[in-house]
Structure 1
Amino acid sequence: MVFSSNVFLFLFLPIFLGLYYLCPNRFRNLLILIGSYIFYAWWRVDFLLLFAAVTLWNYWFGLRIHRAESREQAQRWVLWGVVGNLATLGYFKYANFGMENINKVMEAAGFEPFLLTHVILPIGISFYIFQSISYLIDVYRGDTQPTENLINFAAFIALFPQLIAGPVLRYKDLADQFTERTHSVDKFSEGATRFMQGFVKKVFIADSLAPLADYCFALENPSTGDAWLGILAYTAQLYFDFSGYSDMAIGLGLMMGFRFMENFNQPYISQSITEFWRRWHISLSTWLRDYLYVPLGGNRHGTFNTYRNLFLTMLLGGFWHGANWTFLIWGAWHGMWLAIERALGVNAAPRVINPLKWAFTFFLVMLGWVIFRAENLDVAWRMYSAMFSFNGWQLSELNAAAITDLQIATLVIAYATIAFCGLRQFYRNPLTTKAPGTAAMNDSDLVASTGHGSVAVVRPIEHTRYLVRAALLVLFCASILKLSAQSFSPFLYFQF
């Protein structure tokens, strides 16, 4: 089940919210758990068993870590708990990739390849495994108390607004909200507005740009114009798709009384790759910093080790996105530029916009998106070759015949929206070097903020609020009509 579907909008969500607000407070977390399990099982019932098993595993290990009689014993418990999570993720996400590459080596050496039944990737596994790992490590560090309430913990892991594609939540940030949270008309209204905003971004813009990107990346011999049009379309599509999902997740959380951390902060106005990762997928970049970069040593053990740690963090972060060489290279690309910027002393929190720095950063980001989007290295090479061969800016006949004026208009609207919202956000609330309540910012090479609410959301001034909401409602209704006319509307990050 996906948010951008009639089943979710007109069946699951109204029934769930109706039961939720009719239910006494003490039973609401149980209802969240049941509703989230139904939401997840809509895809495949059998993988719900794996999901429940991972939940029980981490609940039990969390208690064992907390009750350990010595630090050495706690270390053993957290080690086995994390290993179990990584082994689960490794098998389901990387077994096919690993066996495929081993077989290539075997065949090249003249041996018979191994046979392995194709492993199906459970939806959302990357997100709930990362949340589980952070829980165990936070308990070990003493950053949070483990919960004795299995229902609350299971509801946290299964919380359906963020279950499938994030944001990557942490128990320590939501523990108090699972025991006590506020519900009000204003909070529900804020959530509904945020959900509609995300829905419009996803269905009205991202889904309209998807065919444009698909056409260009599918061409066997793209022209320079085809290649650049394709990557411009995908750059906008990915942002509106993923940030749209995050908006919907945050909005649904508000309707249920939860307040999640922000996941995007106008990333395409960044003037360095370091700043980009402080604005893009913030929940993941904070996770990588706190549970990978800092444990590797952060910037505490010399210049070379700092560069190495930055590179390894992004390399593994890229591999987390998918079992493909393309994702490893994409992660290495960003890791390399983070290390270069660190060596050059690049300011990651500029106070003014430098057009040249912005253009260069946007260019680097788009180059990375090429290999991120490509199905394999051959497709990536084909696109890169076309982008820089300068063999003609005219679109190929096949591409020109498939592209519509509406898609081109949507692309223009998308970038106009990015520019307008980005500039307004920058001058109203420029990214600061330190976020409120954030400690140890010497290791903030990837991101600048950790807690929910630390990235401000730009809201319209009071006298325009109702006009903006009225316009949003009209766009939301139009998006529903568009959704009903198209057959399928998957989110790009579901594959991760």
Structure 2
Amino acid sequence: MLFPSISFLYFFLPVTFLLYYIAPVKKSAPGSANRAPMRYRNLVLLAASFFFYFWGEPKYCLLMAVTIFLTYIGGLLLEKFGRKKYLLLLFSGILLSFLFWFKYLEFFTSIVNRVSGGSLPLYHLALPIGISFYTFQALSYLADVYSGRARAEQNLPDFAMYICLFPQLIAGPIVRYQTLQEEIKTRSHSSEQTSDGIKRFLIGLSKKLLLADSFGLLIDMLEKNGEQSVLGLWLIAVSYTLQIYFDFSGYSDMAIGLGLMLGFHFPKNFDYPYISRSITEFWRRWHMTLGGFFRDYVYIPMGGSRVSFPRWTFNMLTVWALSGLWHGAGINFLLWGLFYGMLLFLEKCGVKKILEKIPSVFQHFYTMFFVVLGFALFRQEDLGRLTEMFLRMLGFSADPMEAVSLYSTEALYQLKSFSVLLLIGAVGSTPLPRRTARKLSSAGWLSAALSWMYYPALLLLSTAWIISGSFQAFLYFRF
């Protein structure tokens, strides 16, 4: 089931919230700041989350249930037997084997066949939706119990709800157990928090449907006509850069908004990455929960930066190679990770100090130039086509006898037709709209009137977009 669907918005969500709020709640203890035990409401959320997943991925519900149970048992054993390392490796290895089987087996088998000339069978397995996210969430739980950062959860239904909670099940944020541990047991609800959650959800919904999907349409039209001009290829690359931001940050906003409606506070996943002045800053702002996972559970355990220079270089490139492969089983994803690893390596070795001495506008240009190139690499699975595309974007061709067009009639037409959308996307990826909204919020009755018109309008426009059939699947669902 997808958030931007009639079945979710007008069936699943109302029924789930109705059952959730009529479920009995024990009275909160004195001095608990209105935080009440949530046993029955948690059971409602657990049932709703399994139904949500079963709706879209029925054949892999058992896999998710097995992952939950093994992680639960692993946590109990780690705590009971003094956090033995072999237990951590055993249960983590089992979880990673599930991920490898479905996501990477075909990729690595094809590499072995290509290198050895063999003919090992390829298993074309469908990737279970959300497996990368809920597996990493389970791994972080085991690591935190092992290190003592978290206590093992004794209640299986509560733990199951933590892993498969429907707002963040499919595409994150990757939430650590200690972040939600207290709210799983007791949490508070208020009309103000629910209102903030609804607004956050509607903003995310409109970012996905009205912006990300519109950029997707622009890309489809350009590629349908075989665009090969310099302008056209840059227009595709810039549009995809905006599309993936509004697509993924839109999902994160919806997840955070749904969490607020249910009394949970999920961590922020995006912090306006396109205003960054360096690649280092960009990765502090982009997919923050994934970056935190690799930092705390891979990079630091490998020794981090407190090692020799060669070892540090190895650590950094290994982490970024793994980060690239997390996004998908393909050479392009591996190269994308290493691409950023090399840029970060260069910034650590002195490029960042040089950047800090030049005007900020050039820092932004430097960052976005490589971000756009990075997403062009991220998107293109055909390496032969990738090389040709990069050459053409720079005005060259693999064929020295072929002249590369700077622009085409189609590219100019689409640029003119979508210029307003591109402007909205550029401005919308900065904090400017949020700052403007905050200033308007101090306008009293005018702010309230605008709010009552603005958010229902977003819902109506988004619903109309869904009904029109223009909806495109979330880009991060395939990761």
The answer for the alignment partner of 2:52 in structure 1 is 39
2:106 matched to 1:93? no
Change (3 A) 1:348 1:359: same
- Note the residue ranges of structure 1 that are not aligned, 5 or more in a row: 426-456
2:108 matched to 1:104? no
The answer for the alignment partner of 2:442 in structure 1 is 462
For 1:130-181, what per-residue CA distance to the aligned partner results, in whole angstroms no more than 9, with x for missing partners?
0000000000000000010000100000000010011111111110010011
Give the letter for the 1:477 counterpart: L
The answer for the alignment partner of 1:23 in structure 2 is 23
The answer to whether the 8 A contact 1:223-1:392 is kept is yes
Give the letter for the 1:418 counterpart: S
Q: By how many angstroms is 1:479 displaced?
A: 1.9
Task: Identify the match of residue 233 of structure 1 among 222, 235, 239.
Answer: 239
Distance in 2 between residues matched to 1:125 and 1:132, nearest whole Å = 10
Task: Identify the match of residue 134 of structure 1 among 135, 140, 144.
Answer: 140
The runs of at least 4 consecutive aligned structure 1 residues that moved more than 4 Å come to 217-221, 347-353, 403-406, 422-425, 457-460
For 1:177-211, what per-residue CA distance to the aligned partner results, in whole angstroms no more than 9, with x for missing partners?
10011111111000000000101111111111102
Change (3 A) 1:424 1:335: farther
- Note the residue ranges of structure 2 that are not aligned, 5 or more in a row: 26-38, 397-403
Matches within 5 A, 1:171-182: 171-182=177-188
The answer to whether the 8 A contact 1:314-1:335 is kept is yes
Distance in 2 between residues matched to 1:304 and 1:162, nearest whole Å = 38
The answer for the alignment partner of 2:91 in structure 1 is 81
What is the RMSD computed on CA atoms of the aligned residues? Answer: 2.5
TM-score by length of 1: 0.87
- Alignment: residue pair count: 456
The answer to whether the 8 A contact 1:4-1:489 is kept is no
Task: Identify the match of residue 426 of structure 2 among 408, 415, 419.
Answer: 415
The answer to whether the 8 A contact 2:427-2:433 is kept is no
2:10 matched to 1:3? no
Task: Identify the match of residue 472 of structure 1 among 425, 441, 455.
Answer: 455
Give the letter for the 1:183 counterpart: H
Q: By how many angstroms is 1:214 displaced?
A: 3.1
> 3-state DSSP class of the match of 2:389?
helix
Distance in 2 between residues matched to 1:276 and 1:106, nearest whole Å = 40
Change (3 A) 1:420 1:177: closer
Q: Which moved more, 1:255-264 or 1:346-355?
A: 346-355
Give the letter for the 1:163 counterpart: L
Distance in 2 between residues matched to 1:38 and 1:204, nearest whole Å = 28
Change (3 A) 1:314 1:6: same
Q: By how many angstroms is 1:419 displaced?
A: 4.3
Distance in 2 between residues matched to 1:313 and 1:57, nearest whole Å = 26
Give the letter for the 2:209 counterpart: V
Change (3 A) 1:67 1:206: same
2:120 matched to 1:114? yes
Q: By how many angstroms is 1:477 displaced?
A: 1.5
Q: Which moved more, 1:124-133 or 1:26-35?
A: 26-35
Give the letter for the 2:314 counterpart: R
Change (3 A) 1:172 1:459: farther
> 3-state DSSP class of the match of 1:295?
coil
2:449 matched to 1:482? no
Task: Identify the match of residue 222 of structure 1 among 209, 225, 228.
Answer: 228
Distance in 1 between residues matched to 2:416 and 2:76, nearest whole Å = 58
TM-score by length of 2: 0.90
Distance in 1 between residues matched to 2:335 and 2:386, nearest whole Å = 11
> 3-state DSSP class of the match of 2:56?
coil
> 3-state DSSP class of the match of 1:265?
coil
Q: By how many angstroms is 1:353 displaced?
A: 7.1
Change (3 A) 1:18 1:189: same
